[in-house]
Amino acid sequence: MLRGMVAKPSVPSAGQPEDPGQAGLLRQGRDVLRALGERRLAREFCRRAGSAPDREALIAAFLDCIVRRRDR
C-alpha cells in the first residue's frame, strides 16, 4: 500500500523540540490555534513550547492556551 514512498527525516529548526513527535505536536497545536482565530495564543504557545522539556509540558501549554481562548 505504501510502496514507493520515501520517508523524509524531520530536521528541527532552531528553538523547536528535537523529538519528531514533539515537533509534530508543536505544529499541530499551532495550526489548531490559528484555525480558531487565535494567532496571539498560537505565538505564545510556540514560545512556551520552545522551553518545554517533554511532551507532557508541551500538551499542558497547549491546553492552557485553549482554555484562555476568547469567547466569540
Residues 6+ apart with CB under 8 A from 59: 25
pTM: 0.67
Vertex 24 angle, CA 45 and 38, to 5°: 30
d(CA 50, CA 5): 31
pLDDT-derived band at 70, boundaries 50, 70, 90: confident
16-41 pLDDT tens trace: 445 668 889 999 999 999 999 999 99
